[in-house]
């Protein structure tokens, strides 16, 4: 199904991927999540646990931290994409940095039962099902959702990638051994502290 044109839009469930391998990686992820929560047309619902991922690609890079967010929004897909790209830029990511180290990487992974295929945006994300660092956190939040292009559930696709190539991806933990979550309250949207909101606001308005 292609996104319909015209008429009022109801808020849709959308899942976003987040990644960082520069600077304070966890702080980068959380600031991006809180900045999205401050957007008047983005309702942040849940966040996954945080995963640490060994870089795979040309050259050498530091490991990434990866996570997923579930949001609700009535924004058009290309408008949401522009919001994400603007946030990346405010967080210090330079344009044209594909396959280079980055303080933040934000992707639209899944938009409930809809699909989109345009030059600048494809939904579902065309390589999501091939990447363990995407599928593991996504399955935490959307395991029973279905890839509209394949008809396969997120959980089933995750199980396949886990068997094939989940090496190099593991849960990130604090020094005390506690699992890291993207959002406060064990991954749920409990009220952030004033300090966390100030940090998010500083990124959002920079």
Tally of CA atoms within 13 A in the half-sphere of 117 that contains its CB? 4
Q: Is residue 136 part of a domain?
A: no
Can 119 be counted among the known catalytic residues?
Answer: no
Can 93 be counted among the known catalytic residues?
Answer: yes
Mean pLDDT, the chain, rounded, equals 81
As a whole number of angstroms, the distance between CA 66 and CA 205 comes to 24
Q: Could you read off the pLDDT of 98-124 as tens digits, one per residue? A: 666 888 999 989 988 666 666 677 767
Beta-bridged to residue 170, according to DSSP, are: 52
Q: How confident is the model at residue 3 (pLDDT cuts 50, 70, 90)?
A: very low
Q: Is residue 115 part of a domain?
A: yes
Long-range CB pairs of 145-154 (<8 Å, 24+ gap) are: 145/15, 145/110, 145/112, 146/113, 147/110, 148/1, 148/113, 148/114, 148/115, 148/124, 149/115, 149/124, 154/110
Structure tokens at 132: 């363990």
Q: Could you read off the pLDDT of 141-196 as tens digits, one per residue? A: 999 998 877 788 999 989 988 877 667 889 999 877 889 988 865 544 455 565 66
Q: Is residue 146 part of a domain?
A: no
CA distances from residue 166 to 9, 69, 196 in whole angstroms, order as listed: 38, 20, 32
Can 30 be counted among the known catalytic residues?
Answer: no
The pLDDT score that the predictor gives to residue 19 is 94
Beta-bridged to residue 42, according to DSSP, are: 73
Q: Which of 30, 31, 49, 93 is catalytic?
A: 93
- Give, for 204, the enclosing helix (H) or strand (E): helix 194-204
* Number of domains the chain is built from: 1
Q: Is residue 143 part of a domain?
A: no
Can 127 be counted among the known catalytic residues?
Answer: no
Q: Is residue 180 part of a domain?
A: yes
Report residue 143: phi and psi, to 5°.
Answer: -55, -35
Q: Which of 30, 49, 102, 131 is catalytic?
A: 102
Q: Is residue 145 part of a domain?
A: no
Range of the domain at 98: 12-128+170-204
The whole-number average pLDDT for the span 37-56 is: 90
DSSP3 helix / strand / coil % (the chain, rounded to 5) = 30, 25, 45
Q: Which of 30, 49, 107, 131 is catalytic?
A: 107
Q: Could you read off the pLDDT of 66-88 as tens digits, one per residue? A: 999 999 999 988 889 899 999 88
Q: Which of 105, 114, 198, 206 is catalytic?
A: 105
């Amino acid at each position: 199904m292609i996104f319909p044109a015209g008429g009022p839009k109801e808020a849709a469930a959308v899942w976003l991927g987040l990644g960082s391998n520069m600077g304070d990686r966890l702080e980068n992820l959380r600031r991006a999540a809180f900045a999205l929560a401050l957007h008047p047309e983005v309702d942040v619902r849940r966040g996954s646990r945080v995963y640490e991922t060994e870089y795979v690609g040309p050259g050498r890079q530091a490991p990434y931290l990866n996570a997923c967010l579930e949001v609700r929004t009535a924004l058009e897909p290309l408008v949401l994409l522009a919001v994400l790209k603007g946030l990346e830029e405010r967080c210090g990511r330079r344009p044209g940095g594909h396959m280079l180290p980055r303080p933040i990487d934000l992707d639209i992974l899944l938009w409930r039962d809809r699909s989109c295929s345009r030059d600048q945006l494809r939904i579902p994300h065309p390589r999501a099902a091939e990447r363990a660092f995407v599928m593991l956190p996504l399955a935490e939040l959307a395991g029973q959702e279905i890839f509209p292009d394949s008809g396969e559930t997120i959980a089933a696709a995750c199980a396949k990638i886990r068997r094939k190539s989940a090496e190099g991806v593991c849960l990130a933990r604090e020094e005390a051994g506690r699992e890291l979550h993207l959002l406060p309250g064990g991954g749920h949207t409990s009220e952030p502290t004033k300090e966390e909101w100030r940090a998010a606001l500083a990124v959002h308005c920079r």
